[in-house]
Amino acid sequence: MRVITSLEALEGLLPLSPQERKAFRAVVPVYPFSTTEYYARLAAESFAVRRMLLPSLEELNPELQNLGEPDPLREERDRKAPRLTHRYPDRVLVVTTNYCPVLCRFCMRKRNWRKPPFTISEDEVDAVLSYVRRNPQVRDVLISGGEPLLLPLELLERLLLGLKKIESVEVVRIGTRLPVVEPSAVLRSELLSLLERAQKVWVNTHFNHPDELTAEAAEAVKALLKCGVPVNNQTVLLKGVNDSVSVLERLFRGLQRIKVRPYYLFHCDPVEGVMHFSTPISLGLKLLEELQTRLSPLALPYYAVDGPGGYGKVPMLPVRFEKLGSVYRFRSFSGRYFTMPDR
């Protein structure tokens, strides 16, 4: 896997405009840049991918920066063990690394780009496993990063097989963008074998635009499914990338076509350096309402806001019913109304 971090190497794959070069030179000392060759070539063909990948002067706009925070979701405040955040009663988050081969400009953990490189150690893995054993109410462990599927395999094995042995853990979710940004890396036989042996693993991946649904990405998803790993998708609603009904419809239909369940459509978190991607919550609800007239429920994600301050995720749905005395009044997908008694 070839990873590109310099302007010169990037321009060998993706010719830049003078404005893009200027933004790269100004922004990268503050928020670094990294991409795979695969994703850079995709950006050369797609404006949406280009916007998610290339540094923008908007990242340094002080008026926009003041609207965000480095850690608005208070992940670090709620840390209960090294690398582990415990907020919901039955779920924990493990941030295993700050390394990603592609640094997406909308990243909600952009604060970690500016820290020295870190990868969870064997001792920290053992501390995570010990915490989960001591808290049997935890049935769901989310492994995130950075890119957890690029951890040294022996570390990933220690974590996944350790969680497999804990009877109270029923689900292990891996949050990864690897099927999107470097699908060939998913096809490593050693990785696929480990995921199959771990048994409890689900993958939550992160397609944001239909242009990312390439034949290579579909092959990576197929390999995961063949290992018995269910694949769900989390999309972030991003201004200038996917903030239209037509784009989201193509994305969610495309995901369903390759047997990936659209799981969440997230409102953009108020993260410092990311706010130029933010859209109004009202737009998200409007888009979801229109999508409900076009897509089956299996292709519809939850639209969710993750509460700043550590309040957690709140799924939001367009209001399509009201109670009128002893009856409920409903609005159908076609806009027609009907009532049913409350009994």
Catalytic residues: 87-88, 91, 100, 104, 107, 109, 269, 306, 313
How many secondary structure helices (H) and strands (E) does the chain include? 12, 15
Alpha-carbon gap, residue 187 to 199, rounded angstroms: 18
Phi/psi of residue 129, nearest 5 degrees: -60, -40
CA-to-CA dists, residue 257 to 69, 164, 213, 214, 250, angstroms: 37, 31, 10, 12, 10
Of 270, 277, 282, 297, the residue nearest 67 (C-alpha): 270
Cβ-based neighbours of 30, under 8 Å, separated by 6 or more: 59, 60, 114, 273
Alpha-carbon gap, residue 72 to 51, rounded angstroms: 23
